[in-house]
Every structure is written in C-alpha cells, then in structure tokens.
Amino acid sequence: MSTSQTESTPQSGQEAASKSGGFFRALVARVGVQNLSLIVALILLVTLIGSQNQNFFRPQNLLSIGTAIAVFGVLAIVQTVVILLGGLDISVGSMAGLTSVVSAMIFTAASSSMIGIASALLLGLLCGLLNGVIIIYGRVNAVIATLAMLAAYKGLAQLISGGRSQGYTGSDPIFTAIGRGTFAGIPILIWIFLLIALATHIVLRYTDIGRNIYAIGGNPVAARLSGININRYIIGIYAYVGIVAGIAGVLLTARTGSGQPVSGSEGLELDAITAAALGGAVLTGGKGSIPGTVLAVILLGVLSNGLTVLGVNSFWQNVAKGALLVVAVIIQQRRSGQRAVGLPA
C-alpha cells in the first residue's frame, strides 16, 4: 500500500468526524440546548413508563394525555409571554375557573352556546385589563397584584356559583364538539392548543411586537429609551392573557360538561408557570420560546399520566411538579451565572 493511501485514511476519518460534529452543532444551534434536553427527557420518561405498563402506548391513552394538557397548555403559552415581558400572572387559573362558570351559567340562561362563549372571552379580557391597570397605574408588583386577583377571581367564581358546578353543556353540539370532537383523528382541544401556540410563536418570532416584548423583558430601560411604550405593552399582554384564560375556561366547561368554579381550575397557575420555566423561560424576562414551553407541557402531561397509569398516589404529582419547577429555576440561575443569594461572590 502506498504512502498516499495510508495517509488518506486518517484524513477521511477526520473529515467524517468534522462533518458529524458540524451537523451536531448545527442541530443544537437550530433546536437549542434547552429543547434538546426536554426531548431527551421526554424520550427517557416515555420509555420508562412504557416499559412498566404497556397500556401507556394505547392510542386512547395518548389522546387522553393530549386532551388533559390542552387547558393548562394554553395558559402556559400566555404565561411564557408574560414572563418574557418580565412579569408573572398567578391569577390565570382563577380566571379560567371564573370564565368557566360564567360560560355555563349564561349558556343555561340564554340557551345559546355562542353567547356563553362570547361572555367568557369578554370577561377574560376585562379581567386581564384589570390586572394590567392595577400593575401599571396602581404601581403594584406583578406577582403581588396577580396573587391578590387570584383570590378575588376565585372568590367571585364561588360567590356566583355557590361553590358548585353550574349548568350542563353536554347536550349542546358546539360545546360537545369542542370537548369531545375530533378533526383528522385528533381532538379539537389539542388543535386549539396547537393553534394558539403557533400563532403566539409567529408573533414573537417574526413581528416587531415580538421583538419589542423580548426587548422589554431583557432591558426595560433601553427599551423605553428606544421609544417603546412599555405601559401599553404590559396592559396589552395582560389583556391577551385574559382572553386566552377565557378560552381555557370554555375548554374546561366543554371538557367537563359544566362550569367549574374551583375543582377544574385548581393548580392551573402552578402548571402554567412550571411549564414555562421548564421550557426555558427565564423568570427575570427576555429569554424563552414557545416551542420549549410546548415540549414542557407535553413532558408534564406524560409525567402526570404516567404516574396515574403506574398507580402512584395522585398527591405525588404535585410533589413532582414542584420539584421540576425548583430544578428548572436552579438550572436557569446556574446558566445565567448569577451569584446565589447568601453565598460569597
């Protein structure tokens, strides 16, 4: 064998390794480290659960996961937008509960599902605007303001419903189509979640509105000096959150067949915040993505369903969600390089 032939072999190996490394780096750059880690975690979780119980892979169970994540999934999408802006909305679950009750009660009174749905969306819009006005003109921290409104909206839902489920929408064709209908074999609930996620992603990624939201969350002083009306954006985003919370309330009503003041909406705000943080939304604002949140929503849905399929006590689900939120925030702090509170620099 000639010298040129023997030298070509290691060069070919190096070129192949270089191409392989280049492809991997391009993949990481395209998808993102956060999203790749979520995909790997999802694959491992699905493999683990499926190996313990084959019923997990049944089509009916997989569709059940999709319908279960739809309600908190839409709230996680808008929670991501609020976090990108540098805020937080802890009242989304209570808004969903309130609008759920109102949609069912007005449907019963007016015998019209369209009026009930429109009323829920309008009420959600008003609640979101109220949150934004309190934050801006009351000069109240977003966490405190929405924490207070969480209690207020929950109390209002219990007052007008007497603390009980209201109405019955199971016989209405529109509510039935939303809650149990399918399109192309996929439940309508999942389509609504995906459409809201896609629309929000497009706005954030490809419009000036999205770029301004990232700018406000990243550096509000610089954003203000560049001419961005921060107050208008904050009120507008919280109004958008309210509308989507109204949609979540309608989905909740359609899925359960009645207006749910508390039981169906309890803990939705924790699920939404956990999914947004797990998906890479930095709680200080300016960083995050909708695809990451969607992956995190699916991961949480698989985890919750998997624990149920494996017969694990349902109370452990909240423990797991809380632990995931803590882990997500710790990872964010480590990656940002911020000094831990109480530790020397």
- Identify the pLDDT of residue 28: 62
Of 322, 278, 318, 319, the C-alpha closest to 79 is: 278
Distance of alpha carbon 230 from alpha carbon 236, whole angstroms: 10
Q: For residues 135 and 56, what is the distance between their CA atoms, to the nearest angstrom? A: 44
pLDDT tens series, the chain, 345 aa: 444 454 445 555 556 555 556 655 665 666 667 788 888 888 998 998 888 888 888 888 888 888 999 999 999 999 999 999 999 999 999 999 999 999 999 999 998 999 999 999 999 999 999 999 999 999 999 999 999 999 999 999 999 988 888 888 888 999 999 999 999 889 999 999 999 999 999 999 999 999 999 999 999 999 999 999 999 999 999 999 999 999 999 999 999 888 888 866 778 898 899 999 989 898 888 889 999 999 999 999 998 888 888 888 777 877 887 887 787 777 767 766 655 555 555
Q: Is residue 26 part of a domain?
A: no
Distance of CA 272 to the CA centre of its chain: 5
What value, to the nearest 5°, has the Cα angle with vertex 280 and ends 29 and 197?
Answer: 90
343 in any annotated domain: no
Q: Is residue 20 part of a domain?
A: no
Domain of 248?
33-333
Task: Please tell me the predicted confidence (pLDDT) of residue 341.
Answer: 55
Note whether residue 8 is domain-resident: no
Examine residue 13 and state whether it is found in any structural domain, yes or no.
no
At 313, list the tokens. Answer: 């006590």
Domain of 60, CATH number, reads 1.10.3470
Residue 172 inside a domain? The answer is: yes
The answer to whether residue 217 is domain-embedded is yes
Residues 6+ apart with CB under 8 A from 167: 104, 105, 107, 108, 253, 258, 259
Q: Name the packing angle between helices 208-218 and 230-256 (round to 10°).
A: 110
The pLDDT of residue 17: 52
Residue 70 located in a structural domain: yes
Count of domains forming the chain: 1
pLDDT at 41: 86
